[in-house]
Amino acid sequence: MGDTLDQPPDGLIGGYHGGSLTVRILMIVFSSIALYNAVELFILLFLTFQSYRGLYFWTLLLSVVLGVVPHTIAYILEFFALAPLWLSLTLSTIGFYVMVPGQSVVLYSRLHLVVQDRRVLRFVLWLIIIDAIILLIPTTVLTFSTAYVRTDPFIRGYNVMERMQLAWFCCQEFVISGIYIWETVKLLQMMPDKDQRRTRIMYELLAINFVIILLDVALLLVEYIGYYSLQTTLKPMVYSIKLKLEFGVLGKLVSLVQTSRSQPTSGEPEEYPQFVDPTQLTSDVTHAAPVERTPRGLRGWNNISLESLPVSEQRIRPSTRSRVSSDSGHPS
């Protein structure tokens, strides 16, 4: 079943030729789960966000609509020979462009919540941009050349590049997730009164990021074993699951910061990380809020607007924020 470097992957040209019914069923199952997750994410986005703007919202939306959906449909058309080759290749290329680098942009868009060093943020941004340029363009050229020119150098080049780019993008996500985990642990250590809830939230955050890493490892394993048809249908399912986990990551992070506000120390003013403005922590959220223009000196959580929260979470009006900051009994 494993593909060799000197042969086009089974399924890239003329549909899937393998006789395994199990593989065909798995391809349909993976594709169905990916499309279901995409529809669910699309609905959740518009039910969760009040303001449809901001890097986090748009990267999630585009990763679903222009990433997961076309990439999944493309390989259904390709493996079952339901459409011309040029159409399925074009759809899969567009989907990959948005879905895979888009996941890294989603990770980057929430990184500023825990990282205040602009050099780190700038490094991550340039890493995403440069990797996208040096990996996507050669892979696209080799994909269409393998499908239409079909000479040995192009075929071998495609097989090598396809494996390399998947591993590279996974390593890129490992780096971003690693920075996030590291900074979150540092944030917990800065909190004066560690309690059971904060510890639980920390482990939940680590568990979610660990699951994301395991999904990437599983994808790499299937790729390097040589199951091209399974890997290409498993990929959109994995990325759709990772996008759904993003809601959990952000919800836990905001709950973590809010916990630090609900338990002040005795007598002395509460201490917060630099990026936390306690007057803004009025309720729990499970999403990233859009960035609002604020005066120069205000950072981090000051950028979260009350209007961006779901109606059910708008428990406190802006006019009462000043009173909330002095009320240590605010419900968490």
Residue 295 lies in a domain: no
Res 195: pLDDT? 66
Q: What does 130-143 look like in DSSP terms, one character per residue? A: HHHHHHHHHHHHHH
Give the mean pLDDT of 251-275.
Answer: 51
**181-199: average pLDDT:** 73
Q: What is the three-class DSSP state of 247? A: helix
- pLDDT tens-digit series, residues 122-172: 999 999 999 999 999 999 999 999 999 988 999 999 999 999 999 999 999
Domain annotation covers residue 320: no
| Region for 14 from its dihedrals, namely left if φ exceeds 0, alpha if ψ lies in -120 to 50, beta otherwise | left
The answer to whether residue 177 is domain-embedded is yes
Name the residue range of residue 201's domain. 21-259
Higher pLDDT among residues 152 and 260, named by residue: 152
What pLDDT, on a 0 to 100 scale, did the predictor assign at position 127? 94
Q: Which spans in 112-227 are helix H?
A: 118-148, 152-190, 196-225
- Tell me if 297 is assigned to some domain: no
pLDDT for res 250: 67
Give the pLDDT band (50/70/90) at residue 18.
confident
| Torsion sign (Cα): 69, 125, 278, 289 | negative
Cα(240)–Cα(98) distance, rounded to whole angstroms?
12
pLDDT at 228 over 90: no
Count of domains observed in the chain: 1
Residue 273 lies in a domain: no
User: Which residue is it, tokens 């910061």?
Assistant: 257
pLDDT > 90? residue 318: no
Structural domain includes residue 8: no
**pLDDT value at residue 256:** 62
The domain that holds 64 is classified in CATH as 1.20.1070
Report yes or no on 118 lying in a domain.
yes
- In angstroms, the Cα distances linking 218 to 43, 57, 166, 223, 235 are 28, 27, 12, 9, 10
Percent of the chain, pLDDT > 70? 72
* Residue 81 to residue 83: CA distance in whole angstroms: 6
Q: How does pLDDT run across 207-223, given as a tens digit for each residue? A: 888 888 889 999 999 98
Cα distance between residue 288 and residue 293, in whole Å:
16
In a domain? residue 96:
yes
**Mean pLDDT score of the chain:** 77
Contact 228, 9 (CB under 8 A): yes
Does 321 score more than 50 pLDDT? Answer: no
pLDDT digits (tens, 9 = 90+) for 19-28: 788 888 999 9
